[in-house]
């Protein structure tokens, strides 16, 4: 019985470090999938309710918010920050502390560079766009949404 317990202890000692190393990667994939699911949900709500929706990103605060837009005129102008301008949120969530948000360099940002939004129109299209989620291990995944079909995709970012 003692030999069996020692063997179980040795196996656990070798297995736990490997499980611990895979946790940041799992959190990164989960965050990317959650962003993609939020994009898909916003597109579905926009089409089914025939009303525009937006997914807002607070890059510094690493938070994501889904909100309806009452009218297209409620879309904040590009040069100003989005904070405080979005209507009541349907869904809002925070990324884990080990995951950061980033916007690809080719995307246009407001003047402060910390807020970003992707809009979805009732006809099925939208503004399109992409956002990156990054782990502390320097690994990044990009979640993009097509501006015509609102189809989402997740891909690994090679360069940093």
| 51-71: pLDDT as tens digits | 889 888 888 888 888 888 754
Q: Which has the higher per-residue pLDDT, 81 or 36?
A: 36
Count of other CB atoms within 10 angstroms of residue 120: 30
pLDDT (0 to 100) of residue 82: 47
Contact assessment for residue 138 and residue 25, using Cβ atoms and an 8 Å cutoff: no
Query: Domain 2-157, what architecture?
Result: 3-Layer(bab) Sandwich (3.55)
Q: What is the pLDDT of residues 77-98, one digit of tens each?
A: 443 344 444 456 677 888 888 8
Average pLDDT value for residue range 39-43? 93
Q: 56-73 burial string, b = 16+ CB within 10 Å, else e?
A: bbbbeebebbbbbbeeee
Contact assessment for residue 45 and residue 53, using Cβ atoms and an 8 Å cutoff: yes
| Domain ranges within the chain, ordered by starting residue | 2-157
Model confidence at 25: pLDDT above 60 = yes
pLDDT (0 to 100) of residue 135: 84
Q: How confident is the model at residue 76 (pLDDT cuts 50, 70, 90)?
A: very low
pLDDT (0 to 100) of residue 143: 93
Instruction: Count how many residues are written for the chain.
Output: 160
Distances (CA, A) of 156 to 15, 41, 132, 142: 27, 22, 9, 6
């Amino acid at each position: 019985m003692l030999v069996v317990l020692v063997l179980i202890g040795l196996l656990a000692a070798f297995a736990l470090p490997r499980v611990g190393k895979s946790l940041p990667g799992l959190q990164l994939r989960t965050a990317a999938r959650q962003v993609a699911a939020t994009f898909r949900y916003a597109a579905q709500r926009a089409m089914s309710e025939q009303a525009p929706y937006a997914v807002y990103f607070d890059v510094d605060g690493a938070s994501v918010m889904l909100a309806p837009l009452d009218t297209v005129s409620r879309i904040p102008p590009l040069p100003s920050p989005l904070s405080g301008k979005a209507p009541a949120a349907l869904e809002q969530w925070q990324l884990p502390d080990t995951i950061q948000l980033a916007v690809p360099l080719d995307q246009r940002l407001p003047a402060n560079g910390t807020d970003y939004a992707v809009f979805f129109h009732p006809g099925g299209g939208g503004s399109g766009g992409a956002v990156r989620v990054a782990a502390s291990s320097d690994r990044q995944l990009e979640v993009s949404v097509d501006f015509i079909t609102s189809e989402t995709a997740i891909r690994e970012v090679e360069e940093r």
